[in-house]
Structure 1
Amino acid sequence: MKQKLTASFIRVDGKDAKLAMAHMYVAFIALLLGGLAGLLQVLVRSGEFTLPLGIKIGYYQVLTVHGILLALILTTFFIMGFQIASISRTAGAFTNVQRKIGWTGFWLMLVGTAAAAAMVLLNKATVLYTFYAPLKAHWIFYLGLALVVVGSWLLCIMQILKYYRWKKENKGQTSPLLTYMAVVNSILWITCSLGVAVEVLFQLLPWSLGLVERVDILLSRTLFWYFGHALVYFWLLPAYMAWYVVVPKVIGGHIFSDALARLSFILFLLFSFPVGIHHQLTEPGIEGFWKFVQVVLTFFVVIPSLMTAFSLFATFEMRGRELGGKGVLGWFKNLPWGDARFLVPFIGMVAFIPGGAGGIVNASYQMNQLVHNTIWVTGHFHLTVATAVALTFFGVAFWLIPHLTGRTLTPKLNYLGNVSGILWGIGMLIMSLSMHLAGLLGAPRRSEYSTYGGAEMAYDWIPYQIAQAVGGTILFIAILVIMYIVVQLIWFAPKGEEEFPVATVAPGAEKTPAILENFKIWGVILVALIVFAYTMPIIDIISNSPAGSKGFMPW
């Protein structure tokens, strides 16, 4: 049951709410269009369907639309909107100057998104969401991506400025946990997107403009994966924000430990960067020693992941026992399974367990050889970002959007929210499981049905491709349900006040050490890890490249 609001109900500032909602509009438009592209993709891939109404858009073009809109645009816009609202709710309203920085960032991101999307739709940027060279896109596509990155930096700066203003006005006090988490994720995003910014501005954009004849492909891939793996944690940490702070309030419980939550975020920040080369284990241009080092460092991320699992289930158990749960698992049935704000993110939490196990396979030096560049990897992404993260975001949207628009999540919409989460879980179970199984048989990660190597081999994969089409269809139905809920919560649901749930720390929890907020120390450690992990590999790549520095610097 949803809790009644009290007199202490705190709203996000109205001006901040408008900025946060602007991001939500773009995010859910991206969800609808990207989801439609995903549906077309799995239908065509099954070999049983062609695109409807004589549509001539190519398979890889649809794949590019699906990847960019969902993995980059939906996530980035939603995360920025959620973090802006979280900081405004817990640290107070932004200043007018900070809001101007934020709006400037939003419009830069929107213009960049439109520019990049236009090139993809015109079939001038069918380069997939990884945009690996030697695939080349129109220069406007790369410029659009650059604008998205720069705009996001401004939004992060807005949030960091607010954090330091709060610290200045509240000297000696521990910052609000949600604000702290948002700032850590902003620092992570600025740091990781430097890699893709260098790749785009100094390699791909000059190359597409004809200013340089060629680029160092291995260097571009290394810069991308410096960004690409940390991107996973940029997606994940906002979900952790909801799991640590929001979900405990929804179930009527408390945060198990403020210090543990902050420490896990710091560890994610540190372990997000010196690990990208584990995506390049099959590439011969990187010395084996550095591959081994980054594989080892990759497994360190298990530590904050297990810390999070322990904290969450400790919170669930304490609350379940408060409500009368007995025995080893008796507390489990007392959780609020009828509340979409809890059930939908919980399904995402459960999906993250096999998703994390698959990640261990991907990062393992030997096991990676079996699944590298097969559709197993796609199935893994769909368990992590497309289920654990996406369902948490949807669960957040069900209360955040009505909070920002001054409406309420009605019992009917709450019911539909549960339906959408269950549909998503079923559809993803079918689709992702078939992807993992087909990947073990060697099915390629990105390949249209008609281009499979041979009729006999393709026949072995047909049942799995059909299963993916079935799962993808169920997922698109879930998207339609979610879009209906979102439209209702923006414009048609009854006027009222929906709570922004923020839990308090459990009584008796240890005081948070001040060192966790000393970003000077963590910044030095972060830079040291990046320098250690990447300096020698990049020097080796540039010095041994046929293109040399000419392919790296446009001048």
Structure 2
Amino acid sequence: MAHMYWVIFALAIGGTAGLLQTLVRSGQFELPFGIGYYQLLTLHGVILALVMTTYFIMGYQIASLSKTCGAFTDTERKLGWIGYFVMTVGTLMAAAMIATNEASVLYTFYAPLQAHVLFYIGLALVIVGSWISAVGQLMRYARWKKAHPGEKTPLLSYMASINNVMWIVCTIGVATTVLFQFVPWSLGFTERINVSLSRTLFWYFGHALVYFWLLPAYMTWYVVIPKVLGTKGFSDNLARMSFMLFLFFSIPVGLHHQLVEPGIDAFWKGLQVVLTFMVIIPSLMTAFSLFAVFETYGRKKGASGLLDWFKKLPWKDARFVLPFVGMLFFIPGGIGGVINASGQMNQVVHNTIWVVGHFHITVGAPVVLTYFGTMMFLIPHCTGRSITKELNRMGLFLAYTWAFGMGIMSTAMHIVGLSGAPRRSTFSEYGGAAVAEDWIAYQLLQAVGGTFLFIAIIIAVILFISLMTGPKSDMRESFPVAEMLDEYQPAHRLVENWRFLIVVTALLILIAYTVPITQIFTENIPGAKGFRMW
């Protein structure tokens, strides 16, 4: 619950910043009190994409391991609390620098933009805190495994452990660039920074970050949703296999974010594009598994036609509707991801607001709506409250309001992005170009969509506070954990062989990054010698 308090606070602050952004971009609103647009943009990205998600994930994974593996020891619990407080100190440090306009560098903090050193130290502490918490979780998982030799571990605990290992491995990149490049540079110890290296290390982390957000949503999709439906999950082995593939192919793919950058050989960019496409496989496995569950449920309820089962789904249960609406958004989101990662098609949309629209229908819809659906049962389960009819109805209203606002805003972003509208820029920065006149209507649509999203955020904050503070229930809300159709079949031996998992992950990373990073140091690359601070 300590983690969930931060989730709700971050949602309110980040959502307000998002609304103001869309209003400024529409050209119909000016920020008061000397607030800068890029200051606001940084706050929105950091507080929602980094702070809200990390707190939710750590809290949810702690709850999942406690549910499926049993209570934590004092040491494991203490590590969770230490990690929590280290993350909180780091968050407050970074937030203070953003609030004082000392860190308007966006959440990607690309050099040569420079922030105050406390911003970088704060981000590093958030990562270190998450490592400490993850270690406590991995200790609990390992203790269960040791106590039950030869048995397959509970599925939720396996999924949380895969996500923790992936997170620890991928954050080594961003921690390295922050501690050894940005901190000395911002303190004035070094005059220049190697921009090519800093961006490569960031994207070593940056794309895996997306799966760090997504895999906890998949945990809910695979394990919780079937139980909410009152049926069994499709396949335990398939779920473990998909998470194994995400571990392998989520990290060695960062160069597809750098396809237009100089200094990286085209072969290595192409290799990482291929590795990026490999992630499509576990995504399709997940879609197949989920819709098999939905159809099975519908058939049990009497559906007989090709698609009649769709009508039989529990459309009045917010715990189902919130994640399901997110799943639907992930269909066009996945298609957009294929476009972004493609060498040729990327040229059309690179650095346009199309990318922002894609980001919102992959993270801002599937991930966030699933987090909301998870909090619908997790908060009352922890606090001993109940989901009343009124709160369930509020959850449904949240799902459809969010979908309506996100649909309008992201569609406008995708369309105007195809005509070249840049990302990260305000309306006034278009410089009166003739083409900008064609973008006005789409900027207004973005503001309309952003307004509906802000209304949905207000609903969400009220809903989750109500779930915390409502009357106590005699019957504690359950933490739904489904049984799988192949529950009692053994897991494939390689899937739970952690030595194999880590060796393959490390090997793929070495193949994908050794030569490109070596070239940054050894070849004459534009920008590799660094930029002085402007």
| TM-score bracket for the superposition, by shorter chain length | over 0.9
1:336 aligned counterpart, secondary structure: coil
1:175 aligned counterpart, secondary structure: coil
**C-alpha distance in 1 between matches for 2:487 and 2:132:** 39
2:518 to 529, 535, 539: 539
What is the CA-CA distance between 1:511 and the residue it aligns to? 3.4
2:334 to 353, 356, 359: 356
**C-alpha distance in 2 between matches for 1:214 and 1:249:** 55
**C-alpha distance in 2 between matches for 1:50 and 1:140:** 29
After superposition, where does 1:264-275 map in structure 2 within 5 Å? Answer: 264-275=242-253
Query: Is 2:359 aligned against 1:381?
Result: yes
TM-score in terms of structure 2 length: 0.97
RMSD of aligned alpha carbons: 1.5
2:400 to 409, 412, 422: 422
After superposition, where does 1:168-317 map in structure 2 within 5 Å? Answer: 168-317=146-295
2:96 aligned counterpart, secondary structure: helix
Gaps of 5+ in 1: 1-20
**C-alpha distance in 1 between matches for 2:529 and 2:166:** 30
Task: Answer yes or no: is the 8 Å Cα contact 1:245–1:255 preserved in 2.
Answer: yes
Deviation readout 1:319-346 (Å, 9 max, x if unpaired)? 1111111111122211111000000100
Q: Which amino acid aligns with 2:140?
A: K
**C-alpha distance in 2 between matches for 1:456 and 1:423:** 34
What is the CA-CA distance between 1:273 and the residue it aligns to? 1.2
Task: Answer yes or no: is the 8 Å Cα contact 1:406–1:495 preserved in 2.
Answer: yes
Q: Which amino acid aligns with 1:499?
A: S
2:193 aligned counterpart, secondary structure: coil
Counterpart in 1 of 2:7?
Answer: 27
**C-alpha distance in 2 between matches for 1:229 and 1:263:** 20
The sequence identity of aligned pairs, in percent, is 60
Deviation readout 1:291-327 (Å, 9 max, x if unpaired)? 1111111101110010000000111111111111111
Gaps of 5+ in 2: none
Counterpart in 1 of 2:485?
Answer: 506
1:447 aligned counterpart, secondary structure: coil
Task: Answer yes or no: is the 8 Å Cα contact 2:262–2:525 preserved in 1.
Answer: no
Task: Answer yes or no: is the 8 Å Cα contact 1:63–1:128 preserved in 2.
Answer: yes
What is the CA-CA distance between 1:512 and the residue it aligns to? 2.0
Counterpart in 2 of 1:461?
Answer: 439
What is the CA-CA distance between 1:546 and the residue it aligns to? 7.1
Q: Which amino acid aligns with 1:210?
A: G
1:413 to 379, 391, 412: 391
Counterpart in 2 of 1:15?
Answer: none
1:514 aligned counterpart, secondary structure: coil
**C-alpha distance in 2 between matches for 1:29 and 1:43:** 22
**C-alpha distance in 1 between matches for 2:471 and 2:54:** 26
Counterpart in 1 of 2:131?
Answer: 153
Counterpart in 2 of 1:80?
Answer: 58
TM-score in terms of structure 1 length: 0.94
Q: Which amino acid aligns with 1:233?
A: Y
What is the CA-CA distance between 1:226 and the residue it aligns to? 0.4
Q: Which amino acid aligns with 2:494?
A: I
**C-alpha distance in 1 between matches for 2:209 and 2:529:** 29
Task: Answer yes or no: is the 8 Å Cα contact 1:382–1:428 preserved in 2.
Answer: yes
1:400 to 378, 382, 401: 378
Q: Which amino acid aligns with 1:157?
A: V
**C-alpha distance in 1 between matches for 2:487 and 2:481:** 18
**C-alpha distance in 2 between matches for 1:271 and 1:194:** 16
Evaluate the alpha carbon distance shift between residue 507 and residue 524 of structure 1 in structure 2; reply closer, same or farther with a 3 A threshold: closer
What is the CA-CA distance between 1:56 and the residue it aligns to? 1.6
Q: Which amino acid aligns with 1:498?
A: E
Q: Which amino acid aligns with 1:374?
A: T
What is the CA-CA distance between 1:132 and the residue it aligns to? 0.4
Task: Answer yes or no: is the 8 Å Cα contact 2:263–2:526 preserved in 1.
Answer: no
What is the CA-CA distance between 1:284 and the residue it aligns to? 1.2
What is the CA-CA distance between 1:544 and the residue it aligns to? 2.5
**C-alpha distance in 2 between matches for 1:551 and 1:186:** 33
Task: Answer yes or no: is the 8 Å Cα contact 1:351–1:387 preserved in 2.
Answer: yes
What is the CA-CA distance between 1:495 and the residue it aligns to? 3.0
Q: Which amino acid aligns with 1:50?
A: E
Name which of structure 1's ranges 356-365 and 445-454 shifts more when overlaid on structure 2: 445-454
Task: Answer yes or no: is the 8 Å Cα contact 2:197–2:528 preserved in 1.
Answer: no
Counterpart in 1 of 2:494?
Answer: 515
Task: Answer yes or no: is the 8 Å Cα contact 1:188–1:234 preserved in 2.
Answer: yes
**C-alpha distance in 2 between matches for 1:323 and 1:457:** 54
Q: Which amino acid aligns with 1:22?
A: A
Task: Answer yes or no: is the 8 Å Cα contact 1:343–1:418 preserved in 2.
Answer: yes
Evaluate the alpha carbon distance shift between residue 99 and residue 372 of structure 1 in structure 2; reply closer, same or farther with a 3 A threshold: same
Deviation readout 1:176-233 (Å, 9 max, x if unpaired)? 0000000000001001100000010000011001111111001100000000000000
1:64 to 42, 67, 73: 42
**C-alpha distance in 2 between matches for 1:541 and 1:311:** 42
Query: Is 2:46 aligned against 1:49?
Result: no
Q: Which amino acid aligns with 1:513?
A: H
Q: Which amino acid aligns with 1:271?
A: F
Task: Answer yes or no: is the 8 Å Cα contact 1:256–1:509 preserved in 2.
Answer: no
Task: Answer yes or no: is the 8 Å Cα contact 1:203–1:551 preserved in 2.
Answer: no
What is the CA-CA distance between 1:148 and the residue it aligns to? 0.4
Task: Answer yes or no: is the 8 Å Cα contact 2:326–2:365 preserved in 1.
Answer: yes
What is the CA-CA distance between 1:241 and the residue it aligns to? 0.1
